[in-house]
Amino acid sequence: MGEPAPAPTHNYAAPHIRGFPAGFLGLRWRGGEDYPYYVTRGFGPDFLRQEESLCDWEVTGQILRHSDGSPRLACLCGAVVQGKSDPAQPYFTPGGSFWTNGMTELLRSTPPSAAGIAMRDTCHRQGYQSVGLVPLRAEGETYGLIQLNSRAPGRFTAEQMVSYEGLAAEVAAAAAKQMGTQERHATDCGGGDKCPKRES
């Protein structure tokens, strides 16, 4: 966590995002200590209002923190971006993604809250049964995640999740490459206002 990761431009991210299935999609991107939505498709304003921030907040407006000072990130999205997925659990992949084809049954039989994950339950309350959360990682750094939701059960397979992890890695690698180009450009021109603005 820490400094915000410059978000990839829509033109840079869009070609990779098209590889994901049609339906409800969200791309969360690191901004300071939070991971707000950068791109969304299909989600309504009520869902986005409730889920825009992953941080848990005190009534005073301060971010709740773990004993090591890191922010407490809520629900399954928080577990995925903070690398707290447990491959021993049936709903996590070895690559650190979460997926289920039946959220109602999962919460009944193997609730993630039993593994210490603070659930918000927004996806379930809004009727989403198939949910996939895939981390955006490149060179050992997590930039965010791709969220795939469907109100229909049974939308994912284990093979598809592996494919989605590959696509997510492409998104993260493309963004990392873009950021590296921007940083080199800023270094070459001395940074600050001396640098001309450049579209990626």
Q: How far apart are CA 4 and CA 84, in angstroms?
A: 21
Q: What are phi and psi of 149, to 5 degrees?
A: -125, 150
pLDDT tens track for 103-112: 999 999 999 9
CA-to-CA separations, 141 to 5, 35, 81, 135, in angstroms, rounded: 10, 14, 10, 10
Does 199 reside within a domain? no
**How many domains, the chain?**
1
Q: What CATH number is associated with residue 20?
A: 3.30.450.40
Query: Which segments of the chain are extended strands (E)?
Result: 24-29, 37-41, 98-100, 130-138, 141-150
Q: How far apart are CA 53 and CA 56, in angstroms?
A: 8
Does 196 reside within a domain? no
Indicate the DSSP class of residue 122: H
Task: Please report, in tens digits, the pLDDT of each residue of the chain (200 residues total).
Answer: 455 555 554 445 555 566 676 679 999 998 889 999 988 889 999 999 999 999 998 888 889 888 888 898 999 999 999 998 888 899 999 999 999 999 999 999 999 988 888 899 999 999 999 999 999 998 888 999 999 999 999 999 999 999 999 989 988 888 777 765 554 444 444 445 443 343 33
Burial class (CB in 10 A: 0-12, 13-18, 19+), 140: exposed
Does 3 reside within a domain? no
Name the amino acid, one letter, at 103.
Answer: M
* Contact of 86 with 115, CB cutoff 8 Å: yes
Does 107 reside within a domain? yes
Burial class (CB in 10 A: 0-12, 13-18, 19+), 200: middle
Domain limits for position 32: 10-190
Does 43 reside within a domain? yes
Whole-structure pTM value = 0.81
pLDDT of 38: 87
| Average predicted confidence (pLDDT) for the chain | 82
Q: How far apart are CA 85 and CA 35, in angstroms?
A: 17
Does 101 reside within a domain? yes
Q: How far apart are CA 169 and CA 139, in angstroms?
A: 10
Does 2 reside within a domain? no
Q: How far apart are the first and last CA of the chain?
A: 24
Length of the chain: 200
